Structure 1
Amino acid sequence: MRLVFRLPETVKRRIAGPAVRLDGQTLALDAQLLAGMSRRSGVSLVVNDSPEESRAALESGRHALEGPRFEDVISEDLAIDTTGGDLHATLHTPSHLSTPAPLLVFLHGGGWVIGSRTSYDSLVSFLAHHAQVKIMSVEYRLAPEHPFPAALDDALAAFEHAHRQADALGADRARIAVGGDSAGAHLAAVLAQLAARREGPRPSHQFLFYPATDFTGRHPSRDLFGEGFLLTDREIDWFQDQYAQAADRSDPRLSPLLGEVDAPIAPAYIATGGFDPLRDEGERYAEKLRQAGTEVVLHREADLVHGYLSFFALSPRFRAAALEAAEAIRSRLHTDSGTKK
């Protein structure tokens, strides 16, 4: 796979075929190449409708996507005591980062069913290095063995632990943010809503990369991009069924787009992919926050697909999108402290 992405642009274009233009956007060549290769090889996120086989396939294939480790990022495993037992996480810290430092509680993607802190280790290391922040990557419980709201409970426990143990973690309590991608972004969005309405710590920021925000509605982007762009319409339904099961899908803890947004909810950076079936619900959520008076930056990678951060090591285009994400984190968490770096 890596060899294909290093080919000259003219050769890659011959392999990928004519440019794909849809909804006023042109799909990036490397995104088109990746989607086409995945389609032709039969690769999918859901394997035989089996959570176990889907997880195994993701873990076995992650090595093709991993980038080099950053030697300056030190990783430390953590165990967080919760009522449901130990919750595991990894703290990634750039070695020359002064303390107390900003900290991002990061929740991985994978439809609440697949993915792990191990499969995201390379990406999180990349973000920690380029954003120059501590990142706590959380191993929340997965569905269907642990359906809603288990993953959300774990996300809340990890965030509260980060605040409670900020001194031991070398973190600045005023700059503890939440974030994630896809299902992880969904959990971060819900966490920020809940924190705004209750006593206790609140995130300083929320970083939501191509979030799922609505379990009840069907938005136009699902019809436009639900086939042929890595994440399919059927897979979205399958993932939601595994996590929500018999729960009321209008519950704002499942559909934050339907929730009440109270000030002072954390300022939000929301990124979407132009060719992502979840694009419209993510952008509608940004508008909902904006109308409620929340500080929001909405950024669309118009030529990319769902999950683009995970492909940062494949090509310059994907890397540029990941660098944009890191800069969004860095600029907000450092500038707000008066320690712009």
Structure 2
Amino acid sequence: MPQLTELISPAAAGAVLRAVFGLPRPLRRLIAGPPVRQDGQELALDAQLLLLMSKLDQRSLGGGSPEDARAGLARAKEMLGREPGRPVRTREVAIADTVTSRLYTPKALPEGSPLLVFYHGGGWVIGDIDTHDTVCRYLAVHAEVRVLSVGYRLAPEHRYPAAAEDARTAYEYAVKNAAELGADPQAIAVGGDSAGGNLASVVSLFADRRPDFALLFYPATDLSARRRSRELFAEGFYLTDADMTWFSDHYCPPERRTEPMASPLLAEDLAGFPPTYLVTAGFDPLRDEGEEFAGRLADAGVPVALRRQEDLIHGFANMWPLGGRFQEALSEAAGALRTGLYAGPRGRA
């Protein structure tokens, strides 16, 4: 039987969603119900309302077949489709047989700008360049950078370490071909959300020429252990504990999950990791492992800014088209990226 939201087009479903979010706050609170409080945090009204609306779909991120899960995320992207006001030029860039990419260049951005190599999230199983198109456009415009969005091989068709190998291949291509991409070779960052944050961390650890900055959204950093936040937010907050188990089982066999290329938190030495902005969400099963990773970076002498958006949920970067708290949080990250690259190595040169 089709899901309720599949009976109407993504565009129509998105229009309904935006109409609800456009209601006065008292009406939105009435629809969402009483505030949700857990672990000393209060869930943002925007997040609570989105979670309520998403229940109509009765679909989880993981579970079922990878093909169905991929289709579900693609549909969600169509529902939320929106672009920043400033035009962004795109072109496809061929990197390798197994690696695709798309370059985003904001209008009037001069040659020699900083570059962000971005890895999409989706548990190494779902997601692609298109599902994260609006995120890359937003970061390009608001951080004043070019963005090279990377399409890497997905599990279970291509299990660990395929995605990590592709991530490194893409970064090394960007370093070697910075001039052709219109970028400053001394101002190249890596970034990503969730599984993409994991891949950006792996590249930051293992690349011969370390990135100049890392932008990590709620990264998965340890596939080998469960932390308190996995129990606290196991259900009901978009990404579930069961989803993470499903993703991990498709991506990496248990006997290899302690390897740093799968779990960067477990690397013995984090010295040399680039300056980092790491943001977690308060109501996220991955919150604690992301914050533990930030702590280890700091202990290793890495300049790191840890930011917990305590009232938000996993995946908030993709939700920015709804505005409100989602857009505020992504704007803060874009500002951190701009500062890190423009006031970093190129700014000191």
Range of TM-score over shorter length = over 0.9
CA distance 1:53–1:251, change in 2 (3 Å):
same
Q: CA deviation at 1:245?
A: 3.0
* 5+ residue gaps, structure 2: 1-16
Distance 1:57 1:87 in 2: 23
**Under a length normalisation based on structure 1, what TM-score does the superposition of the two structures give?**
0.94
CA deviation string 1:186-243 (max 9, x = no partner): 0111111112xxxx32101111100001111111111111111000110000000110
Asked if 1:6 corresponds to 2:22, the answer is yes
User: Which residue does 1:239 correspond to in 2?
Assistant: 247
Asked if 1:132 corresponds to 2:183, the answer is no
CA deviation string 1:165-193 (max 9, x = no partner): 11111111111111100000001111111
Query: Match of 1:123, SS?
Result: helix
Asked if 1:218 corresponds to 2:226, the answer is yes
User: Which residue does 1:173 correspond to in 2?
Assistant: 185
Distance 1:176 1:112 in 2: 23
Q: CA deviation at 1:105?
A: 0.3
Asked if 1:61 corresponds to 2:70, the answer is no
Aligned with residue 326 of structure 1, among 313, 327, 334: 334
Asked if 1:23 corresponds to 2:39, the answer is yes
Q: CA deviation at 1:94?
A: 1.4
What pairs up with 1:98-109 in 2 under 5 angstroms?
A: 98-109=110-121
Distance 2:266 2:253 in 1: 19
User: Which residue does 1:280 correspond to in 2?
Assistant: 288
User: Which residue does 1:111 correspond to in 2?
Assistant: 123
Task: Work out the percentage of aligned pairs sharing the same amino acid.
Answer: 48
Contact 2:102–2:129 under 8 Å retained in 1: yes
Aligned with residue 76 of structure 1, among 91, 112, 124: 91
Distance 2:323 2:85 in 1: 18
Distance 1:262 1:61 in 2: 36
CA deviation string 1:277-308 (max 9, x = no partner): 10000000000111111111101101000000
User: Which residue does 2:235 correspond to in 1?
Assistant: 227
Aligned with residue 192 of structure 1, among 204, 219, 222: 204
CA deviation string 1:226-263 (max 9, x = no partner): 11100011000000011003551111111111112342
Over the aligned positions, Cα root-mean-square deviation in angstroms equals: 1.5
Q: CA deviation at 1:315?
A: 2.6
Q: How many residues in Structure 1 have an aligned counterpart in Structure 2?
A: 332
* 5+ residue gaps, structure 1: none
Q: CA deviation at 1:107?
A: 0.1
